Chains A and B, each alone.
Chain A
Amino acid sequence: DTGVSQDPRHKITKRGQNVTFRCDPISEHNRLYWYRQTLGQGPEFLTYFQNEAQLEKSRLLSDRFSAERPKGSFSTLEIQRTEQGDSAMYLCASSPKLGEQYFGPGTRLTVT
């Protein structure tokens, strides 16, 4: 399968713990996006990479959130000191050019 993959698919964690999610984009896609989706809502943009450079960050991305794409291929999204309000589906998408996006299946985070 050459689509976008995300790992893990589900994560349950206790409040205050740190979590890290991974996204593997479609190979040769130089653009990568992270979104958060809560129940009944559309995806909300979090951050965007072009190759290894993080070019945009949403105001939604508090200082507890950090994302990296060290070699311009896979990306990680870390949430420190998780809160119950962080419970959501975290979606990754990759893109070969402006205007196209292909989404992964998402990582569902539950903070207890």
Chain B
Amino acid sequence: GEDVEQSLFLSVREGDSSVINCTYTDSSSTYLYWYKQEPGAGLQLLTYIFSNMDMKQDQRLTVLLNKKDKHLSLRIADTQTGDSAIYFCAEIGTGNQFYFGTGTSLTVIP
């Protein structure tokens, strides 16, 4: 099956940029996603990128996709304490199944 991997933890200082990385295995993925999950809450779709794009920017968020290396990253500019959460990378594989990574816990230090 598909395998989506992320590092487990990231700490940054408030105001700095955060970069969360993800690798995936399904080269046929059409969309790749970033979701945010705050404690006790459901998953919130942050952004997604179509597989024929290299980059997508949405306000403080920048998504970079390297299809050759099957590497996806999420950059959060000017990270705020409200950005502290778990961030999940996901891909849509063959059929309609979504595959999620284990999540990266982002801690923003004031």
Contacts and interface: CB of A to CB of B under 8 A. Distances in A.
Contacts of B64: none
Interface in A98-112: 98-106
Contacts of A28: none
A13 B45 CA distance: 31
Interface string B85-109: 0001010100111111111000000
Interface residues of B, number: 23
Interface in B54-105: 88, 90, 92, 95-103
A58 B101 CA distance: 17
Interface of B: 4, 30-31, 33, 35, 41-45, 48, 88, 90, 92, 95-103
Given A42-B101, A43-B88, 17 more contacts: A31-B96, A40-B103, A41-B102, A41-B103, A43-B43, A45-B98, A48-B95, A48-B96, A48-B97, A98-B30, A98-B92, A98-B96, A99-B31, A100-B48, A101-B45, A103-B35, A106-B42
The 4 A-B residue pairs with the shortest CB-CB distance in the complex, in nearest-first order? A42-B100, A103-B43, A103-B42, A105-B42
